[in-house]
Chains A and B, each alone.
Chain A
Amino acid sequence: MPPSDRFYESRLLRFVLAERLAHWLYALFFLAAFVSGVLMWAPATRDWMGGARYTVSRYHAFIGAAMVLLPLLVMLILDRRRLRDDLREVDVWSREDRRWLALALRGHTLRGKTMPPQGRLNAGQKVNVILVAAMAVGFAATGGILMHKTGLPSWLVSRALWLHGFLAVTAFALFLGHVAHVFVTQHGRHYLAGMVRGRVPEWLARERHRRWWEEVVREEEVLQQKAHREAKV
């Protein structure tokens, strides 16, 4: 039986408010940190920025701290349970996740081939979360060393500077890939809408995140059966 019109209009909640807020805060502060970092670092800015470059370097530290801490605080304050679920979801990889990643690395997603069924986050999105989280720790550690460098061994400060820059370049490359995915790929705009309004089309969930879609449908059936039983009583 072909899906009804209702199926194509139906949307499933993929990201709760706390997740969306944490995501956009991280994105906003990452961009601000990256731009301020480039302004501090690029020799071309020396003449036209003058002393303002020193001020930028001071703000950069606070922007970086906000980038790491605010999203975490938002999740902890608004939806701690969801944070725990998210962490578990990113941690646990099914056979399908591993197979999905192996196939994606061979270019199957780019060629539009059928991929193994995925949960709410596919394996690529899980890799993205792991990389962003590890880099946030890296930014916090190296940024902390650079903020409190007086009295620390100079080799450590010097190395922290190098690693901080390396992380910034890597994170920016990841960011560009992330943005390209949204604007270039077939369903990118639906994923973007999911991160803005929280919901994605049900057909997309069934096609790309079948395991999650099945879970949601099963939960809905259980709820409907429960409501039905209560109505009978």
Chain B
Amino acid sequence: MSDPGDKHIGRRAFIGLVIAGLAALFLGREVVPRLSTGGGGSSSTAGFRINTVAPGAVFEEASWRLVVDGLVRRPLELGFAQFKALPRSTFRRDFLCVEGWGVEDVEWTGVAVRELLKAADLDPRADHLVFYSSDGVYTDSLTLDEALRPDTLLAYEVNGESLPDKMGRPLRLVLPGSYGYKYVKWVVRVEAIAAGPEGYKGYWEKRGYPADATI
């Protein structure tokens, strides 16, 4: 039974709310990053939650070395200036963590891992690269396919500034399209291995995370 004073408010309110949600999804680009990043941190760390399992070594340029070894024909031990002399790449990519948070449009600058492998002359038997953190605890690996992508970097800058200490200064692995646990901080060693189909289990993989962290 309908009354002259009745109005179809329910459906309008429902449709209005759904449209507002869609608008937030598609048009909220300028608003959302500001909300998600809060206001804290420097411009380079804004939006990043700092998750570490152990603190990395404090960076001292004079003593710092990056070792590339394992199945390579030309093992390397590079100082920071030597590393930075390798071809430089810059990419803007979104960063996503398994915890559900993310940071949009992060600018990473560093050396593509494939440039490093070219310099070290990778042995064809190698099928994985293991990245070691200076914290002595954290490791993770990439398949060769992942490592050879042009945007897989060992980054030393984020958003135009040197990596802050807590984000892995001086080098952090960057693997766009994968969750953040692949982004090893304070990288000091890259080892090429032949792990076969079993692969290599890094810190989180040993605790149940999949080796393939593709988003």
User: Which applies to chain B's interface (DSSP): helix, strand, loop or mixed?
Assistant: mixed
Say yes or no: A160 contacts B25, CB within 8 Å: yes
Does A27 touch B at the CB level, under 8 Å?
Answer: no
Tell yes or no: A154 within 8 A of B by CB.
Answer: yes
B36:A157 contact, CB within 8 angstroms: no
* Interface residues of B, count at CB 8 A: 45
Task: Mark contacts of A144-177 with chain B using CB atoms, 8 A cut-off: 1 yes-contact digit, 0 otherwise.
Answer: 0000011000111111111111010000000000
Distance between A164 CB and nearest chain B CB, rounded to angstroms:
8
Scoring B residues 1 to 42 as 1 if CB is less than 8 Å from chain A, else 0, what string do you get?
011011111110110011001101110110010011000000
Of the 9-residue stretches A34-42, A65-73, A201-209, which lies at the interface with chain B?
A: A34-42
Contacts of B22 in A (CB 8 A): 141
A138 on the B face (CB < 8 A): yes
Q: Which among B6, B25, B96, B207 is the interface contact of A93 at CB below 8 angstroms?
A: B6
List of A residues within 8 angstroms of B59 by Cβ: none
Q: Mark A66-89, 1 if CB is under 8 A from B, else 0.
A: 000000000000000000000100
Contact A134 to B21, CB < 8 A, known contacts A54-B210, A150-B215, A155-B94: yes
Are the C-beta atoms of A54 and B98 separated by less than 8 Å? Answer: yes
**Do A46 and B32 touch (CB < 8 A)?**
no
Smallest Cβ-Cβ distance to A41: which chain B residue: B100
The closest CB in chain A to the CB of B17 belongs to A134
- List chain A residues, Cβ under 8 A from B35: 162
Say yes or no: A154 contacts B10, CB within 8 Å. no
**What mask results when residues 97 to 122 of chain A are scored 1 for a CB within 8 Å of chain B, else 0?**
11000000000000000000000000
Contacting residues, chain B, for A53 (C-beta < 8 A): 98
Question: Min CB distance, A6 to chain B, in Å?
Answer: 28
Main secondary structure of the interface of A (DSSP, over half): helix
Output the least CB separation between A44 and chain B (Å): 11
A-B contact pairs, 28 of them (CB 8 A): A37-B100, A40-B98, A41-B99, A41-B101, A43-B49, A51-B204, A52-B208, A54-B208, A87-B10, A93-B9, A95-B3, A97-B9, A98-B9, A127-B13, A130-B17, A141-B21, A149-B215, A154-B93, A154-B96, A155-B29, A158-B94, A158-B96, A158-B103, A159-B25, A162-B36, A162-B102, A163-B25, A164-B100
By a beta-carbon cutoff of 8 Å, the part of chain B in contact with chain A is 2-3, 5-11, 13-14, 17-18, 21-22, 24-26, 28-29, 32, 35-36, 49, 51, 53, 93-94, 96, 98-105, 204, 206-210, 214-215
Which A residues contact B (CB, under 8 angstroms)? 37, 40-43, 46-47, 50-55, 57, 87, 90-95, 97-98, 126-127, 129-131, 133-134, 137-138, 141-142, 149-150, 154-165, 167
